[in-house]
Amino acid sequence: MSDQKVILTGDRPTGALHLGHYVGSLKSRVELQHEYKQYIMIADAQALTDNAKTPEKVRENVLEVALDYLACGIDPKLSTIFIQSQLPQLPELTQFYLNLVTWNRLKHNPTVKQEISQKGFGESVPAGFMTYPISQAADITAFKASLVPVGEDQLPMIEQTNEIVRNFNRIYKCRVLWTCKAHIPKVGRLPGIDGHAKMSKSLDNGIYLKDDEDLLRKKVKKMYTDPNHLRVEDPGQVEGNPVFIYLDAFGHDTKKIQELKDHYQRGGLGDMVVKNYLFEVLNEFLEPIRKKRKQLENDKSEVMSILKAGSEFAANTAQKTLDEVKQAMKLNYFG
């Protein structure tokens, strides 16, 4: 077991997880847990930055996300799964880090700017939302994570975290905090089934890990393809075509996928033929996840016990870091 630790801060419990979450980081975590000591956070406090008026939505989806984790192969014996709000050490670290970042720097964080636009906040951006990159830095540094599985859109967050780490160590003349590296998966992001650049619950354009066979078939059937591929005999475009992007991400028969691409590009291959094959590929992938998830749903109390134990263990780890931070800042008044 390596001394490195892995933590993901991007799974906000605002709904069940979709295929974009899986290729974006969940697959990496399933693989990495056998090599690294891993902490996986359900970011309920972060979810409240734009769901403060609907806390019941966040609460209900904590269990949904946990079910998806376990159904996909996250092993609580290998990975520590915890709930963000159950660690008081994290907001305390955030408070200290707030003084190390300028408001101007936060305003120009590319990820924050993009998400503000997507959510349509306008001038009514919650302060908690603006400062969540600092909260995310607290999440990562609390466990001294050196590797963080994220999508490419989260790279500015990793950069922001490392700036805070360097500033803290420089200002307080110590080596308490560690910088981290991003672990980018081979498939960084899946487009939505409607062709949008990102799969998301708000756009209702995702395929979810818990979708049953009938729902999966309906979603694949209506997937966006090449808008210029009007007739079967017309040559079609593979690049940027969501159906082929999904096949590259989940298909194992690379020879057949390449044959389909070649046929589609020269013409004579209908969209439904490719979609039917994609359905078979995705259904084969999702079936064992659905089966495992249904089993877990029958014992939700056991799932909550896993989250409770993980949160307690994670809190102990985070407390050690917090103690070191307060000592470096001369805030250890009572020993």
Q: How far apart are CA 86 and CA 101, in angstroms?
A: 25
* CATH of region 213-294, choose from 3.90.79.10, 3.30.930.10, 3.50.90.10, 1.10.240.10: 1.10.240.10
228 half-sphere exposure, CB direction, 13 A CA radius: 10
Identify the pLDDT of residue 2: 43
CATH classification number, 5-190+300-328, choose in 3.40.50.620, 3.40.50.720, 3.30.1360.10, 3.40.50.170: 3.40.50.620
Q: Say how many CA atoms lie within 13 Å of 248 toward its Cβ.
A: 16
Domain boundaries, the chain: 5-190+300-328, 213-294
Phi/psi for 18 (5° steps) reads -115, 180
125: left (phi over 0), alpha (psi -120 to 50) or beta: beta
Q: How many helices (H) and strands (E) does the chain have?
A: 15, 5
Q: How far apart are CA 149 and CA 185, in angstroms?
A: 8
**Residue 10 has what pLDDT?**
55
Tens-binned pLDDT, residue by residue, of the chain (335 aa): 345 566 755 588 988 899 988 988 888 889 989 988 999 999 999 999 889 999 999 999 999 999 999 999 999 999 999 999 999 999 999 999 999 999 999 988 888 888 888 778 888 888 988 998 999 999 999 999 989 988 788 899 999 999 999 999 999 999 999 999 998 887 667 899 998 877 877 788 999 999 999 999 999 999 999 999 999 999 999 999 999 999 999 999 999 999 999 999 999 999 999 999 999 999 999 999 999 999 999 999 999 999 999 999 999 999 999 999 999 999 999 97
Q: What's the pLDDT score for residue 199?
A: 83
- pLDDT for 122 equals 82
Distance from C-alpha of 128 to C-alpha of 52, rounded to nearest angstrom: 10
Enter the tokens of residue 215.
């729902």
Phi/psi of residue 75, nearest 5 degrees: -105, 115
Q: Is 212 exposed, middle or buried (0-12, 13-18, 19+ CB in 10 A)?
A: exposed
